Structure 1
Amino acid sequence: MVQWPRRAILGGGLALPALARARATGVQAAWPSQPIKLIVPFAPGGTTDLIARLVATPLQEKLGQPIVVENRPGAGASVGSLLVAQAVPDGHTLLLSNIASHAISPALYGNLRYDPVRDFSHIALLTLNPSVFVAYPRAGIANLDDMARLHRERGLDMASSGSGSSNHLLIVRMGSILGREFNHIPFRGAGPAMTAVIGGQVPLMSDSLPSAASHIRQGSVKAIAMSSAERHPSFPDVPTFREQGHDVVTSSWFGLSGPAQLPRPIVDRLSREVSAILDTHSTRSRLAEIGGSAGQYSPEEYAAFVASEVALWGPLVRETGAKPD
């Protein structure tokens, strides 16, 4: 049985300058004293961006300072992640950490300049969700059998939000199962990738359910398979991979992190406020609508979760033979 959860390997540690530590200590009592940057390591329009904005609006109301969502895509989410790892740990620069930035890319890219565990303060798990294969409606692909037949006949292109994403790895895995690699088309985010599929430039895409949900409902793409263990209650008409003869189950995850040595009072405040946001009916309803489920991990639990993801994804990346595009 092929399980598609999580994990990766380690990079190199970052030395935090003494000046940065001193600055962080000096400002923590007044935190937050200025707008907070929330770095999203993917382009606008994808699940990472969507989750960041879903949490940022209520969080800025609770903290009394604006939260500026800043998209910094590139290299499997490692560009934006490195920026946060190197930031002063004063609570004014945070990261929407995710399975790509902290579990897959460290295994996929051998020269990352951050360690996904040691170089971050992991604060809260926000959500987990399945992946979905979607097709251009006029591509003649209604299910995985159609996809497999056409792929064996002529080879198919398949888009994703970028190299190093869990959806990239799912494409590689399915190519291995079918005995022919897909031509992976990496974009700088799920939004641009979905635009290409809707426009017919690429026939297929592997996407996280939250960013694909509205397009599936609108009929601008055809959902052909869901990576959940059972049919998703919000999309009961979309069959799973298992139902179609492929025992593949996978999920992606998104959380909130900051630089290493973030002062504990700031970590605790953020954890408390995020937990309250995830507990609200409006947030849970919105997550259910887009196919996600709220996470409720303490900082220690989320840090342990990230470490466990790191431990599993490295072997899985090597097993698939995935390479950066």
Structure 2
Amino acid sequence: MLSRRSFRRMLSRRSFVATSAALALPAQAQAPWPFKPIKLVVPYAPGGSTDVVGRVIAEYLGQRLGQNIVVENRPGKGATIGTSQVAKAAPDGYTLLVSNISAFAIAPPLYSDLDYDPVADFAHISLASFNPSVLVVNPAFEARTLADYIAYARANPDKLAFATSGPGSSNHILGVMLAMVSDTRLVHVPYRGAGPAMQDVIAGNVPSMLDSLPSAAPHIKAGKVRALAVSGAERNPAFPEVPTMKEQGYPGLVSYSWFGLSAPAKTPALIVERLAAEMQVVLKHPDVVRRWQEIGAESSTMTPAQYGAFVKAELEKATAAVKASGAKPE
């Protein structure tokens, strides 16, 4: 029979063992990342270029990781609402962002109340694609060239409207610059995403639109809208018949949008490195390369360090462009 003192010592030892086992259990039982679906936030409505790029990444990166990647569209305020959500998310690798020029380069100098820092609040993983913008019109609209479009705008000040995916988008800034260099007064009609904007142009509710080429591409090919000019330095291989703004007399209107993959700051380095390595493979996949070619996008792989430096440089360039354009949030 145990004495009271022996019983207490045995109980103390058992309690220590039980407590030690309980503390060790989570580390031993934790499955390797990713052990559950990953959320990929697209900070624009479905149908736009950010959404198109995001869904391709979700499909092929998910295959590489062996886990579902679920796209969540969170549009609003120049892509800043969805971007802010990711900045505040747990840095555990289960919330990612389709980062883009609007949220990371244009919004900071445009919005004084922005609640995230595009450099400090994110772990930047890889650039995915970059592409020019395109000016399109409803087929019933009279302009067939950029010169026609500008002539109409000059003859009808404050009447020619152009749609964009939203205030603070790269195409909003491009539209402001187009009006400045052509000495016209265009009317900006912002939407909550390129998809809804394009539908209104196709329906004839708005005569024209500045859109990123990937989301406009299928509508141009289907004849639902007519392309007047692209904003690249050279004609795009997917649409060689569409002249550039540069060659039509506006050399300062060379503009590109870009899209990439980012995570909240403090996401573990091993997860960032795994995502970056898999993105390198995804962006070289023949199906992804072909898809990018079809929509007029160009693939560009970067390491996390390179992409972080790229975002910082783009922010500096866009800050100067926004100030020069005089653009205001709407």
Query: What TM-score, normalized to structure 2?
Result: 0.89
Deviation per CA, 1:72-125: give whole Å up to 9, x if none: 000000000000000000000000000001000111111100000000000010
1:163-312 aligned within 5 A:
163-247=167-251, 248-312=253-317
Percent of paired sites with the same residue: 50
Work out which of the residue numbers 152, 155, 160 in structure 2 matches 1:153.
155
2:247 aligned partner, one-letter code: E
1:52 aligned residue: 54
Separation of aligned partners in 1, 2:269 and 2:324: 38
Contact in 2 for aligned 1:172/1:181 (Cα 8 Å): no
Separation of aligned partners in 1, 2:164 and 2:321: 18
1:193 aligned partner, one-letter code: A
* Count of aligned positions: 301
Contact in 1 for aligned 2:154/2:185 (Cα 8 Å): no
* Structure 1 segments unaligned to the other structure (5+ residues): 1-24
User: Alpha carbons of 1:101 and 1:28: their partners in 2 closer, same or farther (altered >3 Å)?
Assistant: farther
User: Alpha carbons of 1:95 and 1:28: their partners in 2 closer, same or farther (altered >3 Å)?
Assistant: farther
Query: What TM-score, normalized to structure 1?
Result: 0.90
Corresponding residue SS for 1:286: helix
Corresponding residue SS for 2:323: helix
1:117 aligned residue: 119
* Structure 2 segments unaligned to the other structure (5+ residues): 1-26
User: Alpha carbons of 1:52 and 1:28: their partners in 2 closer, same or farther (altered >3 Å)?
Assistant: farther
Separation of aligned partners in 1, 2:221 and 2:29: 47
User: Alpha carbons of 1:125 and 1:28: their partners in 2 closer, same or farther (altered >3 Å)?
Assistant: farther
2:129 aligned partner, one-letter code: T
User: Alpha carbons of 1:245 and 1:290: their partners in 2 closer, same or farther (altered >3 Å)?
Assistant: same
Corresponding residue SS for 1:202: coil
2:40 aligned residue: 38
Separation of aligned partners in 1, 2:62 and 2:30: 17
Deviation at 1:28, TM superposition (A): 8.7
Separation of aligned partners in 2, 1:299 and 1:195: 36
Deviation per CA, 1:236-286: give whole Å up to 9, x if none: 110110121111211110000000011000001100111101011111111
User: Alpha carbons of 1:104 and 1:27: their partners in 2 closer, same or farther (altered >3 Å)?
Assistant: farther
1:225 aligned partner, one-letter code: A
Larger RCO: 1 or 2 (CA < 8 Å, sep 6+):
1
Corresponding residue SS for 2:81: helix
